[in-house]
Amino acid sequence: MRQGFDNEKYLKMQSEHILERIAKFDNKLYLEFGGKLFDDYHASRVLPGFEPSSKLQMLMQLKDQAEILFVISAEDIERNKIRGDIGITYDMDVLRLIDEYRRKGLYVGSVVISQYSGQTSANVFKDKLEKKDVTVYYHYKIDGYPNNVKHIVSEEGYGKNDYVKTSRPLVVVTAPGPGSGKMATCLSQLYHEHKHGVNAGYAKYETFPVWNLPLKHPVNLAYEAATVDLNDVNMIDPFHLDAYGETTVNYNRDVEIFPVVNAMFEMIYGESPYKSPTDMGVNMAGKCIFDDEACREASNQEIIRRYYETLNKIATDSATKDELYKVELLMNQAKITLEDRKVVGAANNKMEETSDDAVAMELLDGTIVTGKTSDLLGPSAAVLLNAVKYLAEIGDDVHIIAPSAIEPIQRLKVEYLGSKNPRLHTDEVLIALSSSASADENAAKALNVLKNLRGAQAHSTVRLTKVDLDSFKKLGVQVTMDSKSSQSVLVDNH
């Protein structure tokens, strides 16, 4: 894959910039972390060269000075809010992340349960956290938030919240998802720190939109496409333009809330350290792009992928047509069409040729391979085998899976597991390939090149089963699919 982002430069610049920001205050900075601290696959897709764990790597460089403060809303705990990407509740995710960070040697200081009003489920969660030796604090609902600044910045507002005791210069404030109350927690802490004689600072660390790229740059448009469900809109930061005469990019929610945040700073400190939402940010990603064209192309592909993702969500009643219309508008702004995703045309051509479902895959060298539906294999499994045969330089007529490895799996599916579809899915093909590798040199060669599929693009003419989608994801293949179902999808979830 053509790279466009210097990850090493990013890690160095980002950590240095955060240290500079800490030094501007009383050696205490509350850093609101937006997005995912690790497994940031959106960033790695639109900024090729950005590693999914870049934020975590950066934080590891500062781990002796940093502690992590989790924020979770009592209302989200009460209604068992689910993280859509991994399918677990917010409270379970906090427990999972605490364990993950501790394993990596990061110090988890405490958890704030925000918007607390006596919810029983929040009290139960507090007990679970304390059994893991995590200190828990309550922050309460404040009447008139966020507009009644005079009431909020008073003993009846932030003053009623628990004061979170922290011990390190950098406090990373993170959450399992949006709407948890990270910014409110940061500002509440500034109020309490000031009462304790500490002029602590606040900054925001979000990768997107990238403030020093043009408003309609594909990287920023791809961020809008990724957040159509939140209705985020990128916009020129009017406060920054007015203060400095410099055009920068932010998004609607930060621009809308800035006058309120600024007023809170003024009430706490007497003056605000910032003149714009852009000033509050610490993101250095835009300064680490060395091949703009590579990032533009990667982002355009992401926008098209988001189009197909939204189309499939509509088919399962988990998105609205308005969301699809917005992605279409973003495609128009980027001046791209579905035909700009090469695997779409290749898959459709294969479907017309065979009169059945098909999948196409574009490998990293630009080669496109296809897979068709057959008696033995589904199209996803077929394209996977064809791809590894090409990468391992094995002829099309060579069988790399022995029939003796396929037949038992088919018999198990149909005779014992009740499946009406004997065709092998991707995970089953990989198991069969592994079984054949011990006795077949070609199968072993094919198995060895699976790692070279990471970053490949694929498109299916039909909605794929979850198991096929999961297999592609684990292999690092970025897949899209049409929203129509096939009989095999309807009757066979595995």
pLDDT score of 117 more than 50: yes
Contacts of residue 217, defined as CB under 8 A and 6 or more positions apart, other chains included, come to 210, 296, 299
Domain assignments of the chain as residue spans, ordered by start: 7-288, 342-491
pLDDT score of 197 more than 50: yes
Least confident residue range of 10-14, 256-260, 368-372, 402-406: 402-406
Our CA angle for 188, 189, 190, nearest 5°, is 90
Contacts of residue 112, defined as CB under 8 A and 6 or more positions apart, other chains included, come to 69, 70, 71, 72, 136, 137, 138, 139, 162, 164, 181, 185
What token pair was written down for 185? 């927690």
Interaxial angle between packed helices 292-315 and 321-334, expressed in degrees from 0 to 180 and rounded to the nearest 10: 160
Task: For the domain covering 342-491, report its CATH number.
Answer: 3.40.140.40
What is the percent of the chain with per-residue pLDDT over 90, rounded to a whole number?
A: 79
pLDDT score of 12 more than 70: yes
Q: What are phi and psi of 19, to 5 degrees?
A: -65, -40
Task: State pLDDT tens for residues 272-327.
Answer: 999 999 999 999 999 999 999 999 999 999 999 999 999 999 998 989 999 999 99
Identify the band that residue 490 occupies on the pLDDT scale cut at 50, 70 and 90: very low
What token pair was written down for 436? 């054949």
Identify the band that residue 487 occupies on the pLDDT scale cut at 50, 70 and 90: very low
pLDDT score of 82 more than 70: yes
DSSP 213: S
Identify the band that residue 418 occupies on the pLDDT scale cut at 50, 70 and 90: confident
Indicate if the alpha-carbon torsion angle 404, 406, 412, 414 is positive or negative.
negative
What token pair was written down for 427? 């995970």
Q: Across residues 457-485, what is the average pLDDT?
A: 93
Identify the band that residue 84 occupies on the pLDDT scale cut at 50, 70 and 90: low
pLDDT score of 39 more than 70: yes
Highest mean pLDDT, choosing among 11-15, 85-89, 428-432:
11-15
Note the CATH architecture for domain 7-288.
Roll (3.10)
Instruction: Judge whether 310 and 26 are in contact, CB under 8 Å.
Output: no
Looking at every residue in the chain, the average pLDDT score rounds to 92
The pLDDT of residue 486 = 60
